[in-house]
Chains A and B, each alone.
Chain A
Amino acid sequence: MKVAQLKQDWFGNVKGDILSGMVVALALIPEAIAFSIIAGVDPMVGLYASFSIAIVISFLGGRPAMISAATGSMALLMVDLVADHGLQYLFAATILTGIIQVIFGFLKLSRAMKFVPRSVMIGFVNALAILIFMAQLTHFSGQNWVMYALTAATLVIIYLFPRITKAIPSTLVAIVVMTGIVLLFGIHTKTVGDLGNITQTLPSFLLPNIPVNFETLAIIFPYSLGLAIVGLLETFLTASIVDDMTDTPSNKDREARGQGIANVITGFFGGMGGCAMIGQSVINVKSGGRGRLSTFVAGAFLLILIMVLGGLVVKIPMAALIAIMFMVSIGTFDWSSVFKIHKLPKTDATVMIVTVVIVLLTNDLSKGVIAGVLLSAIFFAIKISEVHVESELDTEINKRIYKVRGQLFFASVTDFMKKIDFDESLQNVEFDCINVHVWDDSAVEALHKIEMKFKQRGILVTYTGLNAESEHIRKRVSSILKSDS
């Protein structure tokens, strides 16, 4: 059974997978380079990472046809670590990220995704798009109009070339054309070579050159945790998208473990951490990719291209890469959320905006997500803490029947009690609790308090309609309560 599945995963769509893998590799080169530059590392770091992550994931991932490589979301989290401590610490952090992700996979943490509301995920994606956009602006400082013109020209090619043919990724065509123009006309402009080195050697195994002590761990752990969270979030989201596009399910926990192992191995081979990429995965599926072979081909072809074309890569004008990053940013941003924001419930819109704002303020996607999740939990508690009370008066037997609806717990008891009139002169009070759920000790104590308060005035209280669970909590908490059910 398993062998059959493996055969299907790898050889079920050979022609489509090889083709789409090659398309993805071509589109990946400029992105891996640009993300390396965002992180502040050599382009080779991103390229090695993309190769190694893609190859490992093709074997160990849980979502065939999904493309994982060096990504913008991860790169953005590495900036400070690289700036303050250097490349070796980045490799160590990547390895630790992988270990954390493997642990998350074993703990089946993909189930925690259901606690991350949609508004937070939308905020994540939008904040990522904004950060990628803003990271490009620093390259424009001190540049003249030539840079702007080149960037604009690249954008024109990227968006209009697909009209001619969709067989070759327009980003690649744009790079080739712009590099050609710059070389042909001898235009002086910032190139990739100005920002880093491209070595045309295969990646080699190395132990990160760092002191192995607690201090190092304290330095890299916060980064690794953030990277692990962000990486898995984006990966789970991307996996769901690929699931939908291919109408096939996937094993998210297996994917998490695969991501972890990929990152561990990548760290040892001189690459930066990465995760699944929404944009490239969509391109892969659109180009016909369905199986693990497509991911493998993407990684392998990428490495071959670097070996062969490495010398030319340094000549690529930064303006072209910047344009590609602008395109990635525009494609990542969820425009429908902005256009439809007035249709969203106010709490959802607020959570989304807060998530984005926190990310922009802290430059950390994981902090934004945590803030968003906390805020939406608070909103939920507020919403659910309203208890509805209606009442009828039976004048013949001098009895008021309160019809209560809602969840009784610590946050809702105070308001609930305010809605009861204890000073009314009655003989009996009944609480119809058929639409009530009692959740905790505070609720049980409140019910008890109500009964006592009425008893002081000589009024008899009965609770009816409590469901089995609520009764159970009541009995467990207090044995002095009387009840008629």
Chain B
Amino acid sequence: MFKKILLAADGSDHSVRAAEYARSLAEKFEGTIDVCYVVDGENAKADVLHHNDPFEIEMARKEKILQVREQFELADYPYELHILHGEPGPTLVEFVNERDYDCVIVGSRGLNKVQTFILGSVSHKIAKRVNCPVLIVK
């Protein structure tokens, strides 16, 4: 159980808490951690506009999820980072379902506080469509 864990992160406080949870879980079960950060169309546009080249963009994105990464790096726990492109919900679901994960861990509220009504909830989309257990950290 919990040998192959996927953490969906967006850099928000909720995803940092989820990361903390993910790490303690992985430590207890000696599991591997894959961290997924999804860049949607709007973010891609803003990132390209604000940075000079693809290298800078990658650095900026890694910086955005620094606190999430620190949960693992400061504890010297190995993890693999995947930066995906597309709409967060569907892209994560596709990524997970194409592979074999024991569990997906995700925070409950993302960065987009604005109009959750209009945008919907990524964690709910994941919980509905992913083919493995989901742990939503509040």
Residues of chain A touching chain B, judged by Cβ–Cβ distance below 8 Å, are 114, 118, 121-122, 125, 159-160, 162-163, 237, 240-241, 243-247, 278, 282, 285-286, 334, 336-337
Contact = CB atoms under 8 A, between A and B. Distances in A.
Nearest to B41: A282
Contact of B49 (A121, A160, A247): A121
B94 to A, nearest CB: 12
A241 B45 contact: yes
B46 A336 contact: yes
Given A162-B118, A286-B41, A244 B54 contact: yes
A336 B114 CA distance: 14
A118 B51 contact: yes
B85 interface: yes
B50 A118 contact: yes
Contact of A122 (B44, B47, B49, B86): B49
B48 interface: yes
B50 to A, nearest CB: 6
A125 B117 CA distance: 28
A244 B48 contact: yes
A325 B123 CA distance: 33
Contacts of A162: 118
Interface in B37-60: 39, 41-42, 44-52, 54, 57
Contacts of A337: 50
A118 B87 contact: no
List 8 A-B pairs, minimum CB-CB distance, nearest first. Answer: A282-B41, A241-B48, A240-B48, A245-B44, A244-B44, A286-B41, A245-B85, A241-B45
Tell me whether chain A's interface is mostly helix, strand or loop, or mixed.
Answer: helix
B45 A118 contact: no
Given A160-B118, A163-B118, A278-B45, A243 B50 contact: no
A241 B44 contact: yes
Given A122-B49, A278-B45, A282-B44, 20 more contacts: A114-B52, A118-B50, A121-B49, A122-B50, A162-B118, A163-B117, A163-B120, A237-B48, A244-B47, A245-B41, A245-B44, A245-B85, A246-B85, A282-B42, A286-B86, A334-B46, A334-B49, A336-B46, A336-B50, A337-B50
Given A247-B85, A334-B46, A285 B51 contact: no
Nearest to A286: B41
17 contacts: A114-B52, A118-B50, A122-B49, A237-B48, A241-B44, A241-B45, A241-B49, A244-B39, A244-B54, A244-B85, A245-B39, A245-B85, A282-B42, A282-B45, A334-B46, A334-B49, A336-B46
Nearest to A332: B45
B41 A118 contact: no
B5 to A, nearest CB: 24
Contact-residue bracket for chain B = 20 to 34
Nearest to B86: A286
A286 B85 CA distance: 9
A285 B85 CA distance: 10
Contacts of A243: 54
A24 to B, nearest CB: 13
A159 B118 contact: yes
A285 B86 CA distance: 9
Contacts of A122: 49-50
Nearest to B87: A286
Contacts of A286: 41, 86-87
Contacts of B45: 241, 278, 282
Contacts of B117: 163
Contacts of B85: 244-247
Q: Which of A243, A244, A334 gathers most chain B CB within 10 Å?
A: A244
A52 to B, nearest CB: 26
A243 B39 CA distance: 13
Interface in B41-83: 41-42, 44-52, 54, 57
Interface string B97-131: 00000000000000000000110100000000000
Contacts of A125: 49
A238 B127 CA distance: 34
Nearest to A335: B46
Contacts of A121: 49
A237 B49 CA distance: 7
A240 B56 CA distance: 13
A469 B46 CA distance: 40
Contacts of B86: 286
A282 B87 CA distance: 11
Nearest to A283: B41
A368 to B, nearest CB: 16
B56 to A, nearest CB: 10
A264 to B, nearest CB: 28
A243 B57 CA distance: 12
A283 to B, nearest CB: 8
B118 A118 contact: no
Contacts of A244: 39, 44, 47-48, 54, 57, 85
